[in-house]
Amino acid sequence: MQNIGPIVRRVLWFAAVQHAHQIRRLKPAELRPYFKERHMDGLPYIVHLTGVAIDLALKRFDEVTICAALLHDVLEDCPWIEEEAIERLFGQQIAQMVKALSYVKSDGSITAQREKYYGRLTSIEIVAIALADVNDNSFSFLMSLTDPPDPDETEPPFERLKTTPQDELNHWRAVVEIAAKYEGDSRIRALVEQVVPNIKAVQAKVDQGMVTVG
């Protein structure tokens, strides 16, 4: 990876601070004994954001895209942060990309929010972040499912989403369908090739009844 310059580090620090209140309650099955040993309920949320950014850095996306990836949830999850603050700290281009990737609660239901979100996926870079987000989410869910389920788990992997597993799978597929418009870019194709097997694997778990409605 050749894209880790000073601005990326500054954005990473900023994202870590703003999301410090969040825990990603998805526990990879193979690591669950260590979670119990350390009395941890999940992973720091910055792990998700870093995973998305790493996917894009490995595909040779530029610093602006990597920074937007690290910040893609900050407007949604940290209401004390406004777009103007991101623009002031990190520039207009990053702020605009983050805004495009953010759900807006005033748009209505989660279905309505997602429809507006899909309409804002209008560039290779923004679509790439959306794909990398789906890749990290789907992989994390897949790694958190065990057969049989862990009896000590009190929160199913889809619980925090407040949607059905099938709705979430349909959302992931919708992002992949939008990405098809940009399949001429080899980096988008590579991300799709990562995402699709994860979606199929999670769908298989849902079909087997391993995942319940959150």
pLDDT at residue 151 tops 80: no
Helix (H, G, I), strand (E, B) or coil at 2: coil
Q: Nearest to residue 124, comparing CAs of 59, 190, 187, 209? A: 187
Tokens of 155: 């929160």
**In angstroms, how far is CA 80 from the centroid of its own chain?**
20
Contact 46, 18 (CB under 8 A): no
Average pLDDT over residues 23-33: 72
Which is it for the CA torsion 51, 52, 53, 58, positive or negative? positive
Question: Domain locations in the chain?
Answer: 6-207
Mean pLDDT of 156-184: 83
pLDDT (tens digit per residue) in 76-90? 999 999 999 999 999
Pick the CATH number of 6-207 from 1.10.287.610, 1.10.3720.10, 3.30.70.3270, 1.10.3210.10: 1.10.3210.10
Cβ atoms of 142 and 201 closer than 8 Å: yes
Indicate the pLDDT class of residue 38, thresholds 50, 70 and 90. Answer: confident
Crossing angle for the helix pair 92-100 and 83-90, to the nearest 10 degrees: 140
